[in-house]
Amino acid sequence: MKFVAKKNKKISALQEKKGISPPATTDSKAVSRLKDRRKKQPSTAHLIEGVLKGNITALSRAITLIESNNPKHLNMANVIIEACLPFANSSVRIGITGVPGVGKSTFIESFGMHLTALNKKVAVLAVDPSSTITKGSILGDKTRMEDLVKNKNAFIRPSASGNTLGGVARKTRETIIVCEAAGFDTILIETVGVGQSETTVHSMVDFFLLLKLSGAGDELQGIKRGIIEMADAIVINKADGHNINPANLAKVEFNRALHLYPEKASKWQPRVSLCSALHNDGIDSIWEMVLAYIELTKANNYFENNRNEQNKYWLLQTIEAQLKLDFFNRDRVKSELENQLRRIENQETTPFAAAEVLLKLK
């Protein structure tokens, strides 16, 4: 204590010598009240009211509750989602994926700025890859979208993918509903783009856009089944400068490949387009393509039917996730799981036999 007092005295003397005014003494009760206000969680009614009014702070807090694993937060999130449901389902949901380095963030910023210029309200749900080692995530999408993040008609929410298959954040589906209730009429979902498991995003969007690069061997992938056959459009990005000719060649190759696939249930023939997100070339034609798709699928009722099927799928996924959570939260399971893990490590049992033991626990 004497050392601290002596140190503070030296600091005050140095401040006085340099003409620096010492900080005003703060009332400890005032500090306590300020801390209490910061810690206080807004009520669900307050958050719902804020979300429906389009308040970004309320929307961000609501999404934080949705993404939380805290059981108390889960109950609050469910109340918020239920209240938002009557105001949802009025947006166009577009999934955007592609390999790392294809320019997803640059494309989304150019695309988003084009949409806001058309008086659209754009929500970007950017799913950032989580480290399998540290479990951390950079969440740097706002940094990469410098112009869009400052746009009053845009909202960017980066989320960590965690251990979810395909890099789609666990609660992205619910976040879409809350964003729609907040008045966002165009939802862009940027996914990790790490492989064929990425197709999970297809189950939560209306239009699935796949970004590709020319000259990277991607043309050959056009004849393989997987993520490409789910795409409603393939956009070859970075079609500028010396890359224009390779991009045009890639467009021809992808068009040939797409015609090998059977007709989609939507009756839409997937298209291949070129763009340079960096120079804003070809962005407007991509939005026109999306509008053409929406017009066709609404006219033949596929749009509505697809959303109904997606809702059924997510019902089953939610039940699965909750059953898994409930199972691993059981005290007996927690205890026996440690035992079975040790037995596997000691070569005393197999993973399949250990699973049987755990599943039989009441």
Cα dist from 126 to 46, 155, 182, 189, whole Å: 26, 11, 18, 6
Reading the block at residue 156, the tokens are 């960017």
Regarding beta strands 207-212 and 233-236, do their DSSP bridges make them parallel or antiparallel, or are they unpaired?
Answer: parallel
What confidence score (pLDDT) does residue 8 get?
56
CA 7 to chain centre: 49
Beta bridge pairs of residue 123: 155, 187
Q: 283: how many CB neighbours lie within 10 A of its CB?
A: 20
DSSP letter assigned to residue 233: E
What confidence score (pLDDT) does residue 219 get?
47
What confidence score (pLDDT) does residue 222 get?
46
Contacts of 170 (CB under 8 A, 6+ apart): 67, 162, 164, 321
What confidence score (pLDDT) does residue 166 get?
41
What confidence score (pLDDT) does residue 139 get?
47
Are the C-beta atoms of residues 21 and 12 closer than 8 Å to each other? Answer: no
What confidence score (pLDDT) does residue 282 get?
94
Reading the block at residue 207, the tokens are 């239009």
Domains of the chain: 40-87 (1.20.5.170), 89-299 (3.40.50.300), 312-359 (no CATH)
What confidence score (pLDDT) does residue 134 get?
38
State how far the Cα of 355 lies from the Cα of 353, in Å rounded to an integer: 5
Regarding beta strands 207-212 and 271-274, do their DSSP bridges make them parallel or antiparallel, or are they unpaired?
Answer: unpaired
What confidence score (pLDDT) does residue 100 get?
80
What confidence score (pLDDT) does residue 245 get?
92
State residue 98 phi and psi, 5-degree precision.
Answer: 165, 165
Give the residues of the chain that fall short of pLDDT 50: 1, 3-4, 18, 24-25, 130-140, 166-167, 196-197, 218-220, 222-223
Report yes or no on whether pTM surpasses 0.75: yes
What confidence score (pLDDT) does residue 332 get?
92
